[in-house]
A and B are shown apart, each in its own frame.
Chain A
Amino acid sequence: MKVAPQDLHQNDLPLAATSSTFIGMPKFPTMARAGLDNTVQRRNLQHATHTIRAKRAAVVHEVSDWEALRLDGAATKDQALDHLADYLVQLEDNLTAAGATVHWARNADEACRIAVDLVQATGASEVVKVKSMATQEIELNEALEAAGVSAWETDLAELIVQLGHDRPSHILVPAIHRNRSEVREIFLDEMSRVGRAAPEGLTDEPADLAEAARAHLREKFLRAKVAISGTNFAIADTGTLVVLESEGNGRMCLTLPETLISVVGIEKVLPTWDDLGTFMQLLPRSSTGERMNPYTSTWTGVTPGDGPQDVHVILLDNGRTHVLADDLGRQALRCIRCSACLNVCPVYERAGGHAYGSVYPGPIGAVLTPQLRGTSTPIDKSLPFASSLCGACFEVCPVRIDIPKLLVALRTQVVDEKRGGLPTGEAAAMKAASWVFGDHKRLVAAQQGVTASARLLKGRPTIGRLPWPASAWSDARDSPAPPRETFRQWWSRTHIDDSGASSAEGSPS
């Protein structure tokens, strides 16, 4: 099927603004260089991604018809996106009937303003947070801090990132780039500044480090009045929100405080409660490589006498409708943030998550970020090229997002946007190549030049260094030496007799 990439993103619906953290970031190759030079991070990432991909493969193999589940997951998400306005209204009606208050936010600023106002109305000066990509995307922690509210991340990895004044580098395990001794240093240096200090004599055993986090966060859980979460799924026909987690920090945040505020991207909606049966099989196996994650909480508005009695839901657009308008790109909104594509990606494994200049790293980030934010900045322009197009990401995606196809379409968009101005060196080279390939006489002449030059190499199999501008390529790679003879030359030497006709004997098959 032929893709019509020129359709991609030609719509007037607003994009997401690039947040202050990522403004002015250089292009991906520049960002990736720092990751490539960081040998500790590369070792950590290699170990982590290989471990998790083996676990995923083992539990996916246990399912008798995984492909049928993937098709089901993709079809369910497509159905939700095909009738999104209707399902959102149904979700709102059911949430309201169950005692929750629903808010709508066109963009990150509006969502942050709503959340900050809700927190301030309670009089609380701190909130506990469940790990949430949506709140990272809108930089809610920064907005709360600016309003004088402390936001405590409670997921262990998020805590490591927050205490380390760092940025997340993976969707599921945001501190994947840190090893145990780095985590120990961070805990010893930073915990005492914001609450209970790490115990003296803390070792770098993961069990000890988890125990330190338990003790540090417990006082925060027990006194918290307000919690902020995202959601994995929002069920339209019941008004139910669903959060999957492992540590119990989610249960603490969703149960103990009096007020609960959840930021929900509009693409998180599932049409019916029964749809959860599919996604509760797809997500844990794809994400952590478990048959089921330790804890999943679902809540439907307010349950009298059990958990928060003041429940708010903020439905967030922030560029999602812009993506929805594109017939091909829309499938990226199926994403359930499992991170399986990161764990199999050869580029992510080496460059690391920070190089992607967004809270969404890896292959899904390379297609989602330029769609949400557009392709006007150096980093966003370069993201569609941050891939070898090997296709492993599509193979593991539980909702069958064709990431390679989207990358190619986005590349076309970036190239099309460059048309009309001064030609780049690459464009000039492509034009020259096209002229040579356009006529067989020109091709034969060019080939004769190349094979003649091969004789100068005196049998060396590779060329180490090419002259400028090809040196940009040869700096990191050996180029194969040109052949002494092309196929055409060989054919005419061995198969064409003096009369010009092909000889009768073919080569043995």
Chain B
Amino acid sequence: MSSARDEILQRIRTAHTAAGAPEPIRRSAPATERDRAEVLDVFVRMTEDYRAVVERCTQEELPGHIARTVETAKAARIGIPPDLDERWTAEIAGTVVVDDGLSTAELDTIDAVVTGATVGIADTGTIVLDHSGNQGRRALSLVPDMHVCVVLESQVVADVPTAVRGLRPSVDAHRALTWISGPSATSDIELSRVEGVHGPRTLHVILVAGA
């Protein structure tokens, strides 16, 4: 008796296989390079459109912005990945908890988490984390109710295909990706949009200039 694997592959070959090698799909490249300032504006507008809070600041202002953001949200325990730049959290008044392998129950006691990002997508207002370095493992930015995500202006690209191509090295390194477009939401009841189901109910994006 043949294995399920062999049998399914044999069924496919019986059913249909085109002759020759696959031709690469031809995709039209974007016609013109878009203006950087405009791309950043679109990123801010689209991210806000999906009810995330977006702020812009300089590198010098960043620690103050992060501290004020978590303070305004009355977050007492702030989770961070082990590799986060320590200057970013220097001005936080609350307790900073480094994720050195916290249990799920411990993560559940954290009020807000501060991470970096890998790429921002302007057209859709999306942030992608590959969970390396200053982004921490996936559970860290998932269980706490508030996610403060720092995106550098240099990380923002115009459109989805550019972002996908740029993420290839992370995928080749077997890293998991999380694409985030606004806070968690549902439209399952009468298609009325409700923010905040299981993921963080507040997404706060800080876009840092000159970096």
> Does B137 make an interface contact (CB < 8 A)?
yes
CB within 8 Å for A218 and B198 given contacts A52-B191, A256-B139: yes
Contacts of B101 in A (CB 8 A): 305
CB within 8 Å for A273 and B168 given contacts A85-B13, A222-B104, A247-B199: yes
Question: Is A248 in contact with B198, judged by CB distance below 8 angstroms?
Answer: yes
The distance from the CB of A199 to the nearest CB of chain B, in whole angstroms, is 16
Interface residues of B in 117-143 (CB under 8 A from A): 121, 123-126, 131, 137-139, 142-143
Question: Is A179 in contact with B190, judged by CB distance below 8 angstroms?
Answer: yes
A14 to B104, CA, bound (A): 45
Question: Is B176 in contact with A317, judged by CB distance below 8 angstroms?
Answer: no
The distance from the CB of A261 to the nearest CB of chain B, in whole angstroms, is 16
Determine which of A105, A156, A173 lies in contact with B191 in the assembled complex, contact meaning CB atoms within 8 Å.
Answer: A173
Determine which of B17, B25, B50, B179 lies in contact with A85 in the assembled complex, contact meaning CB atoms within 8 Å.
Answer: B17
Contacts of B171 in A (CB 8 A): 235, 238, 240, 273, 298, 300
Question: Is B11 in contact with A317, judged by CB distance below 8 angstroms?
Answer: yes
> Does B58 make an interface contact (CB < 8 A)?
no
> Does B194 make an interface contact (CB < 8 A)?
yes
Among A13, A295, A325, A330, which residue has the most Cβ atoms of chain B within 10 A?
Answer: A295
A85 to B101, CA, bound (A): 41
Determine which of B50, B142, B194 lies in contact with A252 in the assembled complex, contact meaning CB atoms within 8 Å.
Answer: B142
Q: Size of chain B's interface in residues, with CB distance under 8 A?
A: 71
A443 to B192, CA, bound (A): 57
> Does B23 make an interface contact (CB < 8 A)?
yes
A210 to B192, CA, bound (A): 11
> Does B37 make an interface contact (CB < 8 A)?
no
The distance from the CB of A244 to the nearest CB of chain B, in whole angstroms, is 8
CB within 8 Å for A214 and B198 given contacts A11-B15, A13-B14: yes
CB within 8 Å for A294 and B182 given contacts A104-B4, A274-B165: yes
Determine which of A154, A176, A210, A271 lies in contact with B22 in the assembled complex, contact meaning CB atoms within 8 Å.
Answer: A271
Category for how many chain A residues contact B: 35 or more
The distance from the CB of B79 to the nearest CB of chain A, in whole angstroms, is 15
A300 to B198, CA, bound (A): 23
Q: Which single residue of chain B is at the shortest CB-CB distance from A55?
A: B191
> Does A68 make an interface contact (CB < 8 A)?
yes
Q: Which single residue of chain A is at the shortest CB-CB distance from B167?
A: A273
CB within 8 Å for A295 and B188 given contacts A104-B4, A306-B137: no
Type the 1/0 row for A319-340, where 1 means its CB is closer than 8 Å to any CB of B: 0011011010010000000000
Type the 1/0 row for A276-289, where 1 means its CB is closer than 8 Å to any CB of B: 11101100100010
> Does B16 make an interface contact (CB < 8 A)?
yes
Question: Is B198 in contact with A85, judged by CB distance below 8 angstroms?
Answer: no
Among B22, B176, B185, B196, which residue has the most Cβ atoms of chain A within 10 A?
Answer: B176
> Does B175 make an interface contact (CB < 8 A)?
yes
Q: Which single residue of chain A is at the shortest CB-CB distance from B21?
A: A83
> Does B102 make an interface contact (CB < 8 A)?
no
Interface residues of A in 36-55 (CB under 8 A from B): 44, 47-48, 51-52
Contacts of A157 in B (CB 8 A): 188
Question: Is B198 in contact with A104, judged by CB distance below 8 angstroms?
Answer: no
Given contacts A214-B198, A296-B179, 13 further A-B contacts (CB under 8 A): A75-B25, A88-B12, A154-B198, A240-B171, A246-B185, A251-B199, A256-B143, A273-B171, A277-B161, A292-B181, A293-B181, A321-B14, A324-B12
> Ordered nearest first, which 6 A-B pairs have the shortest CB separation?
A248-B199, A277-B161, A248-B198, A82-B18, A325-B15, A296-B179
Please name 25 pairs of A and B residues whose Cβ atoms are closer than 8 Å in the assembled complex, sorted by A.
A11-B15, A76-B25, A82-B16, A110-B4, A154-B198, A173-B188, A206-B192, A246-B187, A247-B199, A248-B199, A249-B197, A251-B198, A251-B199, A252-B142, A275-B25, A278-B27, A280-B164, A291-B124, A291-B125, A292-B126, A293-B181, A294-B182, A294-B183, A297-B178, A306-B139
Q: Which residues of B contact A (CB under 8 A)?
A: 3-5, 7-9, 11-18, 22-23, 25, 27-28, 46, 50, 101, 104-105, 108, 121, 123-126, 131, 137-139, 142-143, 160-165, 167-168, 171-172, 174-192, 194, 196-200
